[in-house]
Amino acid sequence: MHEVRFSGEDILARQLELAEANYRRLHEKGIRSVSVLGAIGSGKTTLVEWAITRLEREGLRVGTIAADSAGDDDHQRFVARGARSVNVNTQDDCHLDAHAVDHALDALPLDALDVLFVENVGNLICPADFPLGTDREMVVISVTEGDDMVRKHPKIFAQTDLVVVNKVDLASAVGVDPQRLVADYAALNPHGKIVLAQAKTGRGMDEVLALLGFPCTNTQW
Ligand SMILES: Nc1nc2c(ncn2[C@@H]2O[C@H](COP(=O)(O)OP(=O)(O)OP(=O)(O)O)[C@@H](O)[C@H]2O)c(=O)[nH]1
Ligand SMILES: [Mg+2]
Ligand SMILES: [Zn+2]
Ligand SMILES: [Zn+2]
């Protein structure tokens, strides 16, 4: 086990060092990696399920790290799609950190992977403070959390360049205008991209994957 008992600024510096080590390790293996952050139940796992199916059809070998406080539901969903997956239970912690990702990487067959998705615990607050060392990051929210999500969690949205607003099929049922979320995000992060999606049916997935740097040639869903 690594020594991780530090205090104050040392903790942040150590987290950055571990994140950089993860980044280097993934690059040495030629693996492209994506952190998936977002609200509880917003559709993170559903999006990654589609991504696995889609990218494997493109000939890419996909690995996943599934983080939840308890249980292995998301991990099992990824395994069912054919991903090489590792389950991480964070228990009392409400986020993944670079140290936990390092250990998860130990348990993955890195030589047999081209792409890695890391699904964080559902949470829009502290994951913003814990870099994991992935190449890219996306934040998933859904209309059912309300139209004020971006305004209430500016830090995570200001530092992320790709946001997915999921479950647009439920927008009128919950009385939320997705364009409100689009406008709030544009005000906070003018360079960021935002995709309106319905992950359950795959709507928006082509755009999400293209923005993550995986343009798909086989566009049949
Ligand atoms: N109506 C609708 N439901 C969706 C959509 N995408 C996902 N869901 C449903 O939302 C629920 C939660 O989806 P998950 O993908 O498990 O969400 P998650 O963000 O991974 O959840 P946690 O990991 O528990 O935070 C499931 O019942 C999905 O079927 C969508 O586009 N529309
Ligand atoms: Mg999930
Ligand atoms: Zn350790
Ligand atoms: Zn936390």
Residue 220 scores a pLDDT above 70: no
Indicate which residue's Cα is closest to atom 22 of ligand 1.
41
pLDDT in tens, 45-61: 999 999 999 999 999 99
Nearest CA to ligand 1 atom 12: 41
Between helix 73-80 and helix 44-57 the angle, nearest 10°, is: 20
Q: Which long-range contacts (CB under 8 A, 24 or more apart) does 207-214 make?
A: 208/47, 208/51, 208/138, 208/162, 208/164, 209/51, 209/54, 209/55, 211/162, 212/34, 212/136, 212/138, 212/162, 213/32, 213/135, 213/136, 214/32, 214/51, 214/54, 214/55, 214/58, 214/60, 214/115
Residue with tokens 């406080």: 69
pTM for the full predicted model: 0.95
Pick the more confident residue, 11 or 165. Answer: 165
**pLDDT computed for residue 221 by the predictor:** 47
* Ligand found nearest the CA of 3: 3
Mean of pLDDT values over 24-47: 98
Nearest ligand atom owner, CA of 138: 1
Q: pLDDT tens, 187-213? A: 999 999 999 999 999 999 999 999 999
Dist. CA 120 → ligand 2 center (Å): 8
User: What's the gap in Å between 220 CA and the centre of ligand 3?
Assistant: 42
The protein residue with its alpha carbon nearest to ligand 1, atom 7, reads: 43
Residue 63, φ and ψ in degrees, nearest 5: -115, 160
Q: What's the CA gap between 87 and 65, in Å, rounded?
A: 6
**Rg (the chain; Cα; Å):** 17
Atom of ligand 1 nearest to the CA of 41: 21
Atom of ligand 1 lying closest to residue 77 CA: 16
Task: Give CATH for domain 9-211.
Answer: 3.40.50.300
Ligand 1 atom closest to the CA of 170, numbered from 1: 1
